[in-house]
Structure formats: structure tokens, C-alpha cells
Amino acid sequence: MMARHKRLWMVVGILAGVSVAAWLGTQAFRSNVMFFFDPTQIAAGEAPPDKRFRLGGMVEKGSVQKTAGTMDVKFLVTDFRHTVPVTYTGMLPDLFREGQGVVAHGHMNHGVFVADEILAKHDEKYMPPEVAKSLKDNPPPPNITTGS
Amino acid sequence: MIPELGQFALVLALLMAAAQAVFGLWGAHRGDPRWLAVVRPAVAGQFVLMSTAVGVLIYAFVSFDFSVLYVASNSNSALPTFYRVAALWGAHEGSLLLWGWILALWTLAVAAFSRHLPASFASRVMGVLGVVSFGFLLFTLYTSNPFARLLPAPADGRDLNPVLQDPALAIHPPLLYMGYVGMAVAYAFACAAMLEGKLDQTWARWTRPWTTVAWCFLSVGIALGSWWAYYELGWGGYWFWDPVENASFMPWLVGTALIHSLAVTEKRGLFKSWTLLLAILAFSLSLLGTFLVRSGVLVSVHSFAADPSRGMFILGFLVCMIGGALILYAWRAPLLKSPAGFDVTAREAFLLYNNIALVLGALVVFIGTLAPLVNDALGMQSISVGPGWFKYSFPYVAVALVALVSVGIHAAWKRGRLGENRRRLWIGLGAGAFAGLLIVFGAYQWERALSTIGIVCGCWVIVSSLFDPIDRWRRKLTLPRAIIGMTIAHIGLGVCVIAICAVESYTVERDVPLAPGETVAMGRYAYRFDTLEPVEGPNYDGVRAQVTVLRDGQPITVLHPEKRNYWVQRSTMTEAGIHARWNMDLFVAMGEDLGAGRWSVRAQLRPLIDYVWLAAFLMALGGAIAASDPRYRIRQPIADHQAAATGAAEAT
């Protein structure tokens, strides 16, 4: 009798432990997953208004504005059909350049994407896969060259 | 003409691998010694041919043969000789060639040091390695021939990716591959045992040193890669949960579980099925690592190849290798019976808990790394999993693991009455808590519970692992290398945990705009941006800053961070300025010219960060010492001599 009770409690304990761990894990996972949107989706209002997400596209040529002597930078991210203005304060990656692919993490604020992290891979040929897919699925109008 | 010789050698090596697989596996099945006699020569032949292929490609690099596409893509006449050799593994095709060569090297080692094993078993091991080699060489020749020509030859090459032009990165891939591919040996031993239908304690004894040595290489390889990311990428951290890093971390975690599970199988004849499964899993994750890095399917900061069609081949290969092994497992594992039970507080039980924690940790990394890929494959919305997932989930598993190690170290085999060791447990915990809290409140301050618990647990592991050796020393007992190695590795684990907690909680970092003459203050320290001057290297130019570090207003050192522009690839690179003190790194990296005379500057104080890598080397050293234990050596005098030679090679 004692042994059976003991085993029962052990099974209950293990089940409870596993459930709690699984629940915590799911919560942690959900709060750390970030979705990807391109400028066209943002123009269509698909991006969540109050959640962080990933914005990807090309840095529009001639759009990068820096305030001299500070780390504030503004630029436009485009998929050649729509553009999204982006603001960022901080160090830019070495490969951040006009006319090249970029992925930014951040949130929308009154039509402006406030980035807290800018990613650009350490590879000259780099085009973020998501950006490449977005451009492939929705090819830009033929009169625009992608510059890559 | 010469590059074609390399390709020809590669084709012949493929045939040799086929011969090795067929004669090894089928010969053992038929029990025909004439067939088995072919296996070792095939292994040797394959190694010679692979070495020829590697030699030819190195020659092409060194002699500026830009008519070879791979050389033209990854080298340049201005590239220093050292990097022209290292450029061999600077991209996809050459890395595969290196993978194949290292596999041939491991197989050669198996052929040389397996003469004391039963002939059929040794042949099966080499046969399985032959299958792996055949698949990889086929992949290399079919999708990624490193000797492909580029005609007409360009006048000059496109240069090696500048981030790879660094000594640590030049040796990091070979070491990492030694670890990855070494897991193939454990896998082959597991498959051979299943084919034989015999898996006993001697099997575990044969497998252990191979697995441990592979694990040591993996540890050092990962540590070097992490160190490189720290100072070369200019981000100033030791781990970014980047998919490429995770790809190497998963086999390490499972490999760690495997070497502990093997210990139980050897000592007590338990966990046989579990050990087999871990051996299959460790190699599968190594292959997956190659797949993840080389197919470019993941959004990663530093995977430098992108070609999904190759991914399909590796995926197929992966399915064959894992699927085949698992079918074999399903067929054979029911035959394996474990002879005895054990208490829930015995050493076996604690090793089981530690295995569960390690596999759980690998699962956390696996989910975070592959969720985006799975989501993508299912055609769902593109997602990414942020570092937050790992930073939230992994520490709990790690702390649980470290606490389990601290307790489990005292448990005895079979009948672990923890009560008998209660004194040691409490003394260990007390001393660990005292030392840990002394570190937290003496050197730093209260930051958060988790890092305090982590530091205490780290100290606890170190104290706990010292009990047994000290006890043996006081009682004038022998101290086998296995125990010395284990102690050093566990101390490494403790150091690693303490260092990671300190870095995570007590780092001071500032990203600020600075003009020459201006200072950024960080606690007792301050960085003064003095001057900026142009520099020129063999294949780049750039600027170099002079930054003086002040402590309590007194200058203590001068740092020289650089910003380089590599001419050929026209890419910008950051060279961080780092000064290592015994208790922290002073780190500074240049951002960009902000105009108005200012530069963005990343200034950091990273406490104990060097101990993270030191800990990895300690673990590897411990593994090497344990693997060199005479217990694993063979009785026959000739074989004994060979094993001693391995031991010496491993220890260095």
C-alpha cells in the first residue's frame, strides 16, 4: 500500500512538473517569437500596432539621413512598391548601406518604425532570405533597378 | 592539369570509400577473412587520396591558380600566405573537402588503433565510416566540386571574406570539424555494435576514449569560434545564440550526455539503449550542424554559403544516416537487457538526471534554432526566435544541471545512500554558498537572483569535485587519470558557470558618440578617445584610433581599435581594441564617422569573460587526460605502445 501511494505521488509530481515546465516554455517561446513584415504588408495595416516585429527590405538609395555628431539615423526601407520610414539610435552594423538589404527589429509608432536593432550580415552578397523571398513573391515594377 | 589530378583523387577516394563500406559490412556479415583483409588498405588508400586532393587544392591556393573557381572566389594575390592556406576552408566546397579529409583521418586512426578489437567488429566500424564517407564524397563531387574550373581565368581573385582573415578563425573550423566528424566514430561504434547484436561493457570501454577525444575537439572548436566572434565581429560578447553557434552547441550537449552515459554502460552495464540513441543523436546533430551552416537556409549572422539545392542532398543524406541507424536500433535494441536496477539516489540515477538535463538543454536550443525553418517549410508566416527564448529557458536547465552535478558527484554506484555523504553535501554547499556570495557581494553587488544562484552553484561544483581527489590524496590512494580528468572538467564547468553569470549580470556597456579628446565614464573606469590616424595593411586600409583607459583617473593602458576597408570585397571590418585584465576585459570598438568630428564608439567592461573560454579549455583538457587513462589501453605490448602514443597526442 505504502509503495503504491509513493509511486502514485511520484507520477503526479512528475506530471505536474512536466506540465508547469511545458507551460512556462510555451509562454517564453510565444513572447520571443517575432514575425516578419515587409513594407507592403505594413502599408496594408497587417503589422501589429503594439508588438515588436521584424521589418525587412532594401535601404532606399539616398534616404539615409544622419544628424551630424549623434547616433540618430533615419532612413526608408522599401520593397519598391511601398516604403516605411525607420528611425534608429545606436551603432549601425558594418554592412549597413544604401541600396542593400536590411532587417530591423522594432515597433510601429505613428507610421514610423522605431528600430531597436539593425541586422546586416557580414557578407558582401548578403540579402536576408526573408527579404529575397518578399522581393521574389512581389517583384518590383520593371522600371526600377534593385541595385544589387 | 594539376587541379584535375585533385578531382581524380577525389573520385578514386569515393571508390575506396565504397570498397571500405562493402568489404567492411558485407565481409563481416559473411565472416570471410579475405574480404575483411581489404578494409584496412582501403582506409589507408582513401586517406592518401584525400590528402592528395587537399594538397592539390592548397597548392592551387598558394600558387595563385585563379583558373580554379574556388580559388578565384576565395583568394587574392594580396592575401597573405597563411590565409591562402586557411582559405581552403573559407567557403562551402573547401569546407566539405576538409570534412571528408578529417573523416579519412579519423578512420585511419580507427584502423590503426583497432587491431586488438575482434576483426568483424572493427571491420563493421570502418564499414559504417565508409558509408558516411561515401555519402559525403558523393555530395562533394556531385554538388560542390572544389576543383571546378573558371575559364578564362580571371587576372585576380575575389579575396577571402575579410571576417575570416583571422588566426582564430583559421584554426577554428578544422578543430570544430574534428569534433563533428569524431562523433561519426561514436556513431559507427554504435551501429557496429547493433549489427553484431552484442553490446557489452567492453564495447563501452572501446567507445569511450574516441567519444571523449571528439568531444574535446568540439569543446575547443566552439570556444575558439566564440572567442573569434567576440573580438572580430566587434559585438563584444561570447555567445549570440546565432543558428551557426547553436548548430555546434547541440552536438556538444548531446555529446556531453553521451560520454556520461557511456560511463554508466561501461561501469555498470546499464543505459545501453539510451547510450546507443545518444550516439546516433550526437552524430545526427553534427550532420545537421553541417547542413544548417552549409545550406544557408537559416537567417544567420555568419553562415557564409547559400544554396538550398545542396541542402536537399544533405537532407536526404541525413534521412538515410539517421533513419538507417534508427531502424537498426528499433530492430536490435529490444535484445539489450540491463542486468541490474539501482536506487534513485545512486550515481547511475544522477547521471541519468544529468543526461535528461543535457538533452533538455539541447531540445531548448533545437526548438529555438529550427522553429523558423519548420515554420517556413510549412509555408506559414516567417518568424524568428529572439535570443530572449534561449536566455530565458536555458539558464534554468543549466542551473538544475550544475546543482545535480554537485550532488551526484558524491553518490556511489548502485546503492547511493546520500545519507552517508550528508556531511560532504552540506560542507560542499556551505563552502560553495560562502564563496559564491563572497564573489557576488565582495566583488560586485546584488543584481538578480538567477545569477547569484548560478555563481553559488558554480562554486559548489568546484568544491564538490575536489572532495574525492583530496580524500584519495590524504589516504595515499592512487589518483587515476580518469579521476584527475573528471575533476578538471567539472572545475571547468564551475568556472564556466561563474564566468557566464558575471558577464551576464555585471557587464557595463556604452554606445556613445565621441570626438577626439572626449571621455566616456564607466564606474571607476573611463575611456578617453585620443586620436585617429590612417593605417594600411597588405590588402586593406582604414583608420586606427587611440583610446586611453583610465582607472580612478590614472591611465592604465592604451587600446587601438581599427576600422578596416578591404579593397577587393569592398567591405568594412571592425577590429576591436581589447585589453585583458585578470578580472575583466576592457573592450572598445569603433562604429562609424558620425560627422562633426565624432565617431560612434562601443565601450565595454566585461568581467570574467576570458574565463568562459578558459573554462572550455579546462573541460577539454580534463577530457583529454581522462581519455589517456591507461585503463583504455590494450594489453598486447605493440598495441599498448600505440595507445600510449595516442594518449600523448591527446594530452597535448
Task: Classify strands B577-580 and A112-119 as parallel, antiparallel or unpaired.
Answer: unpaired
Q: Is pLDDT of A122 > 50?
A: no
**Angstrom distance (rounded) from CA B281 to CA B284:** 5
Cα–Cα dist A4/A7, whole Å: 5
Q: What is the dihedral of CA B588, B589, B594, B596, to 10 degrees?
A: 40
Considering only CA atoms, which of B121, B131, B261 is closest in space to residue B193? B121
Is B384's CB within 8 Å of A54's CB?
yes
Q: What is the 3-state secondary structure (H, E, C) of B253-280?
A: HHHHHHHHHHHHHHHHCCCHHHHHHHHH
Helix (H, G, I), strand (E, B), or coil: what is residue B628?
coil
Number of H helices, E strands in chain B: 19, 11
Among B301, B388, B513, beta carbon nearest to A71: B513
**Which pLDDT score is estimated for A124?**
42
Task: Show which of residues 20-39 on chain B sit within 8 Å of chain A, judged by CB atoms.
Answer: none
Listed residue (B533, B574, B578, B539) closest to B558, CA to CA: B578
**Residue B557 carries which side chain, given as an amino acid letter?**
T
Q: Does B315 touch chain A (CB under 8 A)?
A: no
Q: Is A56 helix (H, G, I), strand (E, B) or coil?
A: strand
Instruction: List, as ranges, residues 541-570 from B with C-beta within 8 Å of A.
Output: 569-570
Predicted local confidence at residue B562, as pLDDT: 92
How much is the CA Rg of chain A, to the nearest whole Å?
22
In terms of Cα–Cα distance, which of B18, B4, B195, B167 is closest to B85? B167
pLDDT at A125 over 50: no
Residue B605: helix, strand or coil by DSSP? strand
- Nearest CB neighbour to B386, from listed A34, A70, A95: A34
Task: Give residue B616's Cα distance to chain centre.
Answer: 10
Q: How far is B498 from chain A (nearest CA, A)?
A: 24
Of the candidates B63, B55, B97, the one whose C-alpha atom is nearest the C-alpha of residue B79 is: B63
Which positions of chain B have pLDDT values less than 70?
Answer: 234-235, 294-311, 416-420, 634-652
Residues of A in contact with B343 (CB under 8 A): none
Using a 10 angstrom Cβ sphere, with 0-12 exposed, 13-18 middle and 19 or more buried, the burial of residue B98 is: buried
3-state SS assignment for residue B466 = helix
Q: For residue B598, which residues of chain A lie inside 8 Å, CB to CB?
A: 68-70
Pick from B161, B164, B299 the residue to mutate for testing the A interface (most A CBs within 10 Å).
B299
- DSSP sequence for B126-180: HHHHHHHHHHHHHHHHHH--TT-B-SSPPSS-----GGG-SHHHHHHHHHHHHHH
Q: Do B595 and A36 touch (CB under 8 A)?
A: no
Report the alpha-carbon distance of residue B487 to residue B216 in Å, rounded. Answer: 15
**pLDDT at site B649:** 41
Q: What is the tens place of the pLDDT at every residue in B576-628?
A: 999 999 999 999 999 888 888 899 999 999 999 999 999 999 999 999 999 99
Asked if B328 is an interface residue toward chain A (Cβ–Cβ < 8 A), one would say no
- B645 interfacial to chain A (CB closer than 8 Å): no
pTM for the structure as a whole = 0.91
CB-based contact A122 B371, cutoff 8 Å: no
Q: What pLDDT was estimated at residue A6?
A: 77
Partners of residue A125 in chain B, C-beta under 8 Å: 306
CB contact under 8 A, A25 and B386: no
| ipTM of predicted complex | 0.82
* Residue A91 confidence (pLDDT) above 70: yes
Cβ separation A66–B600 shorter than 8 A: no
Nearest residue to A53 (alpha-carbon basis) of A92, A91, A109? A109
Task: Write phi, then psi, for B564 (nearest 5 degrees).
Answer: -115, 145
Distances from the Cα of B66 to the Cαs of A13, B72, B512, B566, in angstroms?
66, 5, 44, 19
Note whether A1 contacts B: Cβ–Cβ < 8 A: no
Q: What's the pLDDT at B169?
A: 78
3-state SS class at B347: helix
* Inter-chain contacts counted by CB atoms under 8 A, chains A and B: 102
Give the pLDDT of residue A80.
87
Q: Is pLDDT larger for residue B500 or for residue A30?
A: B500
Residues 6+ apart with CB under 8 A from B530: B516, B517, B545, B546, B547, B548, B558
Q: Which is it for the CA torsion B186, B190, B196, B198, positive or negative?
A: positive
For residue A127, is pLDDT > 70? no
Nearest to B199 by CA among B331, B337, B324: B337
Identify the bridge partners of residue B588 per DSSP, sorted by sequence position: B577, B603
Unique residue bearing C-alpha cell 539516489: B345
Facing B600 at nearest CB: one of A71, A124, A133? A71
Task: Compute the nearest-CA separation of A5 from chain B (Å).
Answer: 17
Of B306, B573, B592, the CB nearest to A92: B592
Asked if A36 and B574 come within 8 Å (Cβ–Cβ), the reply is: no
| Chain centroid, CA B198 distance in Å | 31
How do the domains of chain B map onto residue ranges?
A: 1-160, 509-609
Task: Please tell me the distance from the alpha carbon of residue B562 to that of residue B536, in angstroms, as a whole number.
Answer: 11
Architecture of domain B1-160: Up-down Bundle (1.20)
Give the SS3 label for residue B330. Answer: helix
